[in-house]
């Protein structure tokens, strides 16, 4: 029985290696000397700690002495750095980087700029180019998991696989002809195909993405609810974002947007609702009790002058709430570090209380909170043995991070996404010392610049 013999041989080899290394357990990767923000149940911070990673999983997190127990194939010395769970961007539209910076500071942007730009320019190739740039920015900014909804979402998935990020990806369904579906609501069929193709992917969770209650008919929303339940697939949606959305549902259904989705059967543990600016206290209870996730896109909501979602109240009430950038036409950047300061400060102003939304809470929302919003908290969101190895190292050499009395304060009030040094997803190093390994950064940027030149030339001729 050569197979049994072979196994025995492997076991003996491993044993010899372990003895040779002083009985140390072999691991693929050991991160040492970091200031570790575990985000574990005790929210422990470990100075000079170590994280051991085997395959795609974290096997140990602890003090520096831990390192002696392991024989790592690779070691990353995180000296001076903050080691933290990868951040979660709970709502974005990566491909829209192609339009970043177009139509800022103008009214009724969605209908005057975004939809026409998409009608004119969005093709499969453009989605790929925009997504690659967005993925690059996510990796460079320490985002390890994101939720995206757009057209040609299978193309987003392909690029995401190449980049090595974790994602919940939703194929858009909307009641007008879309770049990838000439028939209204054609995205529903595309979403079914997409979900079938990716349902067992280790990194990608395929989803339905009905655009919003005001852009998808009620009957279609109900079909989405049924399909989501049958396939156990997530649903991503924009919710309670617009004042006219609220007014119309009030008038036609005597319901808040949250109640409307609940009546349809969409408010459940598969839903991730972006924005939720206009929610009542009883909406919060519903969101919490149904287990729906909320993506708080504060910077985008400020820029659009829509309002401040009651994110602090949601957090206090136990709603699954994470942070999000929205698309780069709305919030311009895709990293989560850029959101932290806004979340801490604008909610203090909103409550007229400088004690609320302390830095540690904001970092929790950016990591474990985002994992909860995407219903992935059993797998990611903290540095604990058994969780998937999505880890970020933030450098603290920048002048603004000196001195460093409190790592949470430093991250929230002074760090820049440019301070992220190393990004690890599913045990794989995607960026080390600012060099992204899975994408050709210069080529991705050059491709985008060429595309922007073409779009600029077309814009000079006027939008259709």
Task: For residue 403, state whether it binds its own copies (rule: CB under 8 A).
Answer: yes
Task: For residue 348, state whether it binds its own copies (rule: CB under 8 A).
Answer: yes
Task: For residue 364, state whether it binds its own copies (rule: CB under 8 A).
Answer: no
Q: Which of these ranges, 26-34, 173-181, 187-195, 353-361, lies near its own copies under the rule CB under 8 A?
A: 353-361
Task: For residue 112, state whether it binds its own copies (rule: CB under 8 A).
Answer: no
What is the residue whose two structure tokens read 């149940």? 41
Task: For residue 434, state whether it binds its own copies (rule: CB under 8 A).
Answer: no
The contact mask relative to its own copies for 166-205 (x = CB under 8 A, - = no) is ----------------------------------------
Taking the chain, what is the end-to-end CA distance rounded to the nearest angstrom? 71
Task: For residue 118, state whether it binds its own copies (rule: CB under 8 A).
Answer: no
Residue 293: strand pairing partners: 272, 320
Task: For residue 344, state whether it binds its own copies (rule: CB under 8 A).
Answer: yes
Is residue 201 helix, strand or coil?
A: coil
Task: For residue 449, state whether it binds its own copies (rule: CB under 8 A).
Answer: yes
Task: For residue 237, state whether it binds its own copies (rule: CB under 8 A).
Answer: no
- Tell me how far apart the alpha carbons of residues 249 and 242 are, in angstroms, rounded to a whole number: 11
Task: For residue 227, state whether it binds its own copies (rule: CB under 8 A).
Answer: no
Cβ 282 to its own copies, closest distance in Å?
A: 25
Task: For residue 45, state whether it binds its own copies (rule: CB under 8 A).
Answer: no
Spatial contact of 332 and 100, defined as CB atoms under 8 Å apart: yes
- Tell me how far apart the alpha carbons of residues 351 and 367 are, in angstroms, rounded to a whole number: 23
Task: For residue 351, state whether it binds its own copies (rule: CB under 8 A).
Answer: yes
Spatial contact of 330 and 303, defined as CB atoms under 8 Å apart: yes
- Tell me how far apart the alpha carbons of residues 323 and 339 are, in angstroms, rounded to a whole number: 8
Spatial contact of 407 and 367, defined as CB atoms under 8 Å apart: no
Residue 345 burial (10 A CB sphere; 0-12, 13-18, 19+): middle
Q: Which of 182, 399, 433, 457 binds its own copies (CB under 8 A)?
A: 399
- Tell me how far apart the alpha carbons of residues 93 and 178 are, in angstroms, rounded to a whole number: 15
Task: For residue 111, state whether it binds its own copies (rule: CB under 8 A).
Answer: no
Spatial contact of 396 and 80, defined as CB atoms under 8 Å apart: yes
Q: Which of 184, 186, 307, 313 binds its own copies (CB under 8 A)?
A: 307
Q: Which of 24, 175, 398, 432 binds its own copies (CB under 8 A)?
A: 398
What is the residue whose two structure tokens read 């060099």? 435
Whole-Å CA distances, 215 to 248, 249, 274: 12, 12, 15
What is the residue whose two structure tokens read 């922007």? 452
Q: Which of 15, 406, 435, 463 binds its own copies (CB under 8 A)?
A: 406
* Site residues, its own copies (CB under 8 A): 97-98, 100-102, 104-107, 109, 133, 136-137, 140, 299, 301-305, 307-308, 331-335, 341-342, 344-346, 348-349, 351-355, 357-359, 397-400, 402-406, 409-410, 413-414, 416-419, 441, 445, 448-449, 451-452, 456
């Amino acid at each position: 029985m050569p197979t049994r013999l072979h196994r025995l041989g492997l076991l003996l080899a491993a044993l010899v290696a372990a003895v040779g290394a002083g009985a140390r357990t072999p691991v693929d990767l050991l991160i040492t000397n970091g200031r570790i923000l575990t985000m574990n149940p005790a929210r422990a911070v470990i100075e000079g700690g170590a994280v051991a990673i085997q395959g795609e999983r974290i096997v140990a997190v602890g003090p520096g002495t831990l390192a002696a127990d392991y024989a790592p194939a690779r070691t990353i010395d995180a000296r001076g750095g903050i080691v933290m769970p990868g951040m979660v961007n709970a709502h974005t539209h990566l491909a829209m980087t192609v339009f970043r910076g177009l139509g800022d500071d103008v009214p009724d942007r969605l209908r005057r700029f975004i939809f026409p730009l998409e009608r004119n320019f969005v093709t499969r190739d453009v989605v790929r180019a925009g997504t690659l740039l967005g993925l690059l920015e996510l990796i460079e900014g320490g985002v390890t998991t994101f939720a995206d909804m757009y057209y040609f979402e299978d193309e987003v998935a392909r690029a995401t696989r190449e980049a090595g990020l974790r994602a919940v990806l939703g194929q858009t369904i909307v009641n007008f002809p879309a770049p990838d579906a000439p028939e209204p609501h054609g995205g529903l069929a595309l979403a079914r195909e997409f979900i079938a193709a990716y349902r067992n992917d280790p990194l990608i969770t395929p989803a339905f993405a009905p655009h919003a209650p005001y852009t998808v008919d009620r009957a279609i929303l109900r079909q989405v609810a049924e399909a989501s339940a049958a396939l156990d697939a997530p649903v991503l949606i924009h919710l309670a974002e617009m004042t006219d959305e609220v007014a119309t549902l009030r008038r036609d259904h005597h319901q808040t947007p949250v109640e409307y989705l609940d009546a349809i059967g969409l408010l459940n543990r598969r839903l991730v609702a972006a924005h939720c600016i206009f929610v009542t206290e009883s909406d919060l209870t519903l969101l919490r009790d149904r287990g729906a996730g909320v993506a708080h896109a504060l910077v985008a909501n400020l820029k659009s002058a829509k309002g401040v979602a009651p994110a602090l109240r949601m957090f206090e009430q136990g709603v699954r709430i994470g942070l999000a950038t929205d698309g780069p036409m709305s919030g311009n950047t895709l990293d989560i570090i850029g959101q932290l300061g806004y979340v801490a400060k604008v909610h203090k102003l909103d409550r007229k209380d400088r004690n609320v939304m302390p830095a540690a809470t904001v970092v929790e929302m950016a990591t474990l909170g985002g994992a909860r919003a995407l219903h992935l908290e059993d797998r990611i969101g903290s540095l604990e043995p058994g969780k998937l190895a999505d880890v970020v190292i933030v450098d603290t050499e920048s002048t603004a991070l000196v001195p460093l009395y409190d790592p949470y304060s430093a991250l929230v009030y002074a760090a820049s996404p440019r301070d992220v040094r190393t990004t690890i997803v599913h045990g794989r190093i995607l960026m080390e010392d600012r060099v992204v390994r899975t994408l050709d950064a210069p080529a991705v940027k050059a491709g985008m610049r060429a595309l922007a030149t073409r779009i600029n030339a077309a814009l000079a001729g006027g939008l259709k």
